[in-house]
């Protein structure tokens, strides 16, 4: 929801960063790899009890994740391979966070497993609708907006990392938001794909 409705306020900054990377000769795929390289170790920082660094790296990775797509569109070089890398690396960074939390706080493993299942369900609906829909937006596939988008996920992950005493409750909230989003997207898909 925040990605869809708040993008207009952050997009000018994202475009500036994208132009800066392009001036330095970097490609969108190189920035995708950079975002992945910065985001993947987040789980280790959680395990080794460096929550502020984990959240910092998570958000830097997320910003770069927004920049890479803008770079590809600015150069008019969006590719299926770039889309695949972007979506796959996004999920691996999220899994790094969840696995890091599960190792650091084993008592929360069940609710973290359920959260993971809800993310798989939601992203499956999202990607299937994107693949089957003839509608296209500014992205290389149909982007289905929902209550939980990347920013909401990062906000909830940040709360989970920074306030571990609330971990079961925050994870349960994240789970509920993901499930709501999956069913929200299913409902839209039923109308869209008939």
Q: Are 161 and 97 in contact (CB under 8 A)?
A: yes
Looking at residue 4, its pLDDT comes to 58
Token reading at 91: 């999920």
Q: Give the number of C-alpha atoms closer than 13 A to the C-alpha of residue 131, restricted to the C-beta side.
A: 9
Question: What's the CATH code, domain 2-192?
Answer: 1.20.120.1760
**How many whole angstroms separate alpha carbon 83 and alpha carbon 74?**
15
Low-confidence residues of the chain, pLDDT below 70? 1-7, 135-144
Find the angle CA(114)-CA(117)-CA(120) to the nearest 5 degrees. Answer: 155
pTM of the model: 0.89
Looking at residue 139, its pLDDT comes to 59
Looking at residue 1, its pLDDT comes to 61
- Would you kindly state where each structural domain of the chain is located, as residue ranges? 2-192
């Amino acid at each position: 929801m925040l990605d869809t409705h708040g993008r207009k306020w952050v997009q000018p900054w994202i475009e500036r960063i994208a132009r800066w990377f392009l001036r330095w000769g970097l490609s969108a795929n190189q920035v995708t790899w950079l975002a992945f390289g910065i985001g993947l170790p987040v789980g280790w920082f959680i395990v080794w009890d460096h929550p502020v660094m984990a959240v910092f790296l998570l958000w830097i990775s997320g910003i770069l994740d927004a920049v890479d797509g803008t770079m590809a569109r600015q150069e008019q070089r969006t590719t299926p391979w770039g889309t695949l890398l972007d979506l796959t690396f996004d999920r691996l960074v999220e899994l790094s966070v969840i696995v890091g939390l599960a190792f650091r706080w084993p008592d929360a493993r069940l609710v973290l497993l359920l959260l993971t299942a809800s993310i798989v369900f939601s992203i499956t609906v999202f990607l299937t609708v994107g693949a089957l829909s003839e509608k296209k937006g500014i992205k290389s596939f149909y982007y289905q907006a929902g209550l939980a988008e990347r920013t909401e996920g990062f906000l909830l992950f940040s709360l989970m990392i920074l306030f571990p005493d609330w971990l079961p409750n925050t994870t349960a909230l994240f789970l509920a938001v993901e499930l709501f989003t999956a069913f929200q997207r299913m409902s839209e898909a039923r109308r869209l794909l008939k």
